[in-house]
Structure 1
Amino acid sequence: MKNSYSKSQECKLESGSKIVGKWHSHPYKIVRTLGAGATGTVYLAESAHGLVAVKVGTDSMSITSEVNVLKHFSKVQGQVLGPSLLDVDDLVTQGDTYPFYVMEYLKGEPFIFYMQNRGREWLGILMIQLLGDLQRLHTAGWVFGDLKPDNVLVTGPPAKIRWLDVGGTTLIGRSIKEYTEFFDRGYWGLGSRKAEPSYDLFAVAMVMINCAYPRRFEKQGEKPLAFLKQKIEQESLLLPYRDVIMNALQGKYENAASMREQMVKAVSKSSTYKHIPQKKDKDQKPVKNAKKNKKQRITKKERKSSYFVEIFLLSSFLLLVYILYLFGQMM
């Protein structure tokens, strides 16, 4: 790719506009803007092979770094979060040159929206998968950096977390180049912004907290850890994972695999927390000459109770099968 890129302004493409790569001559028609970040803007576009996502940037070094990450993803496709890399080229428009790359367009639901419309047991399941993928990323020498619900999508079925933007990925040992305060341990005073596995694991904990508090919140007081602990204990969604979250916030996990192992244990212990409360029958002496319709009402109650128990057992079984399926996909 050419090195003389325009850094003076962002490249803004209108819906309906057509671009052609300088080197590969692949045409793309812009449909709409998907999102914008510090390193560029992502567009939904039409290509000869269907819908794709095109990221146009101004900084060639940042784009090259993201391309390198996506190339790593393509080597182990099917077991990673990120989209497939399809093309890398330059865009020349109005005398300026902008680097861009084309990736797979992922269809799915935003993470927070998905959680709000599914059962709470999905939180643990998706976090187990996320931690498995992060372990592979860290092993390859990278840290995600700007890990937050806005940068992930849930695709499927079967449900699977995929990354939307790898702009924050940073080589281990360097300084985090992109972050969002709520998910940044530096903001909370609970660690540095050095790119290391524990930085991403802190963000995983905050992603879980964000599920319970979709509108998020700002830090308060001089003891942020105590403040976060209080927030965790106030939400029933987070209680089954309280110890795992607290350990991640304090940087007690050496790697994602360790946190994933503890998350698996937490899920296994809480897989039946969807407990259906049963009303205790009071000891009552049989009443003589009871009416037939009263007996029928009692029979209906018993059948209804039996129905809920069957549904609960079936749900638990399906949940267990799905967890085993995910484990098989991550091996």
Structure 2
Amino acid sequence: MATEKLTMATALNRALRDSMAADKSVVVFGEDVGPLGGVFRITDGLSAEFGEDRCFDTPLAESGILGMAIGMAMNGMRPVVEMQFDAFAYPAFEQLVSHAAKMRNRTRGRAEVPLVIRVPYAGGIGGVEHHCDSSEAYYAHTPGLHVLAPSCPADAYGLLRQAIASPDPVVFLEPKKLYFSRTEADLDSSVAPIGRAAIRRPGTDATLIAYGPAVPVALEAAEAAAQEGRSLQVVDVRSIVPFDDETVCEAVRSTGRAVVIAEAAGFASVSSEIAARVMERCFHHLHAPVRRVTGFDIPYPPPKLEHFQLPSVDRILDTVDDLQWEDS
């Protein structure tokens, strides 16, 4: 396989470029995504290559951006829109949950909405309020939406290609702090199916379940635990909706212990749902209650304090140590 070391930003840019080259109905638009190439340069070069009729800037009006995209999707286009930051997407929330998510059901399947909403999301970049939200629970709670969160360049490419090809609306959450981290990837054979989790690291003592920006932290914690003689398995959820119960629960049953890791606040969260699903399906295999390491239930803190809010290796290892090992 031809692997190369590249960033998630490059992988996303290539996914957009390849999708646009393969299908003339794919259009990309949003705030500053045209000649500038996006705040994070994810759309760099697309306007020059495909023309400003297929990659173009919009006014600062998120509701209008998504409303236009829904109409285009219902009429044969495949729009890919960018909400410049996670919390900037909220003005478009009504369009998303009331129309994009419900259109197929409302029309008894006659109207599809093949739409991708790209959202640079989560913390870890020293951003201020409105720039570091983990908003996945809002979208995951809405039937009719797919919600994806890649953690590496290969999955960013594969999942975005799958999302653009999907007949359903997809919220595509891109971890900002991972945009420029480099890893080896083979994009030519990178296929990350929607609805399938991945085992990132084998282990026998406990299972760490994470997605998006929490996956590298989980892997770092597993490496640190190995130095202390403890074997931790790491599962990357990848697809929040639809959720891969089979892979996740099989992994938990194999170790008998589970810790769910996420940056978002813990109350009424995706991590809550994962913990509940694991407890319901794996109860007789568990040696200890399912535990969680999440952000705190507070508004996102100022940049100098965000390291307290984010899950850390120490917090994960402390939680693993509390999994009733003496009772196994």
TM-score by length of 1: 0.27
Q: Which has the higher contact order (CA 8 A, sep 6+)?
A: 2
TM-score by length of 2: 0.27
